[in-house]
Amino acid sequence: MANLDAQVRESQSQVAEAQAKISELTSRIETARAKLKTGDDAMIDIENASLEDVHTHTEVMNANIAELIMGLDDVTAGFSKDFDQMRSKTGWETFVGIFSQAKADSMRQERVRTASIDDKLQDLIAKSDTIVHLLEGQLAMLEEQKIRVETNLTETLDDREMTVGELESIRKEIGGMDPTIITLENAIASETDAAKRTRLETELADANTRYNALVQDEQVKLAKSQTLERYIEKGKTWIDSLQNQAATQMVLINKLQTDTKQRVVLYDALTKSLKTAQQQDVAHRINEIGVKTDQEAQTAMAGIGAATNARMADMLEAHEDHMVFARDILEQKAKADERFARRFAKIIEKHDSNAYGG
């Protein structure tokens, strides 16, 4: 459990660091958006905001949390072994039983009574809840960041649509000026009257001035359109990343929540099994009393029989509901495990082969 505690603390630190990196990247995109509005060069802000750095860190973070979840599974599997040990007598209890069965039974009952299985279960559930809370906080943060980026992206898409519209209008006007300029140039070349020629040259100069202004404006609009396009592509990439990270968090949350339900069901089943074993021991000892206390045995057995019949009736009535509930939990766990295995196949392979660090 100490190792699990250390892993939980490490995961908490990694989540905090991931949130800082994600928030910084979103802020850089927002800063770039503000610079776009003022006409400043904004791409340096986006380029410096390394998506790859965030991806690398979040992959490590999620891999560690996945390993932690599998560690919780390993501890849960150990519960069965603990219960098996409690169902059986220890070597010392068996030895004491040779001389005093009552003393051996008393020792076993005290060992079962003081067993820390329930404490282990509660600690395990507490750790699961801590990790779920951690993941839910990360999921909420991812959703918040996605909304912020989507808002910026919507404004930028509108800006680019308007810029492209303006660019098309400028190009249309430039294309419409070509015949006018050619006509003026031909008229000047064939004009012999000095006054008319001067007027035509003035018109051509004005047309060329307008044409050059439009070409310059076209270049400005084109550069702005390209900048907006790069910004949009990076914004879309970041939104896709946030959505993928959110999906991973949901898989981890579902796995943990389903595992917690399954652990409670398993603990309940093992506890009932342990109690049944104790009851069987008592019944066996009563049966061995034999003829020495025949009357007392008959009375005791009658009481046990009545109590057993009543208990069996209660168990039969509750069995269907219990089995339906347990089956539902197992089905939910199978689905959660399948989603978890798809997303963290490499981590599971390392865990099963004990190949960490490979």
- Tally Cβ neighbours within 10 Å of residue 52: 7
Confidence of residue 35 (pLDDT cuts 50, 70, 90): confident
| Within a domain: 358 | no
Note the residue count of the chain: 358
Distance in angstroms (rounded) separating the CA atoms of residues 215 and 204: 16
Residue type, 261: K
Note the pLDDT of residue 292.
47
Distance in angstroms (rounded) separating the CA atoms of residues 192 and 203: 16
Closest CA to 181 of 214, 219, 222: 214
Tell me what the pLDDT averaged over the chain comes to. 75
Q: Which DSSP symbol is given to 248?
A: H
* 104 or 40, higher pLDDT: 104
Structure-token pair, residue 4: 């699990």
Structure-token pair, residue 357: 């660090």
| Within a domain: 272 | yes
- For the chain, the domain total comes to 1
| Percent of residues, the chain, with pLDDT higher than 70 | 70
| Within a domain: 215 | yes
| Within a domain: 349 | yes
| Within a domain: 218 | yes
Structure-token pair, residue 41: 């060069």
Confidence of residue 79 (pLDDT cuts 50, 70, 90): low
Name the one residue in this structure whose structure tokens are 């750790």. Answer: 127
Query: Tens digits of per-residue pLDDT, 107-145?
Result: 776 776 666 566 777 777 888 888 888 888 888 988 988
Spatial contact of 181 and 228, defined as CB atoms under 8 Å apart? no
| Within a domain: 338 | yes
Note the pLDDT of residue 351.
63
For residue 95, the enclosing domain spans 2-353
Distance in angstroms (rounded) separating the CA atoms of residues 187 and 3: 91
Residue type, 272: K
* 238 or 350, higher pLDDT: 238
Residue 255 has pLDDT above 70, yes or no: yes
Distance in angstroms (rounded) separating the CA atoms of residues 76 and 79: 5
Distance in angstroms (rounded) separating the CA atoms of residues 16 and 8: 12
Note the pLDDT of residue 315.
44
Confidence of residue 253 (pLDDT cuts 50, 70, 90): confident
Query: Tens digits of per-residue pLDDT, 173-228?
Result: 888 888 888 888 888 888 788 888 888 889 889 988 999 999 999 998 888 888 88
Residues 6+ apart with CB under 8 A from 156: 33, 36, 228, 231, 232, 235
Structure-token pair, residue 196: 């008319």
Spatial contact of 239 and 146, defined as CB atoms under 8 Å apart? yes
Residue type, 252: L
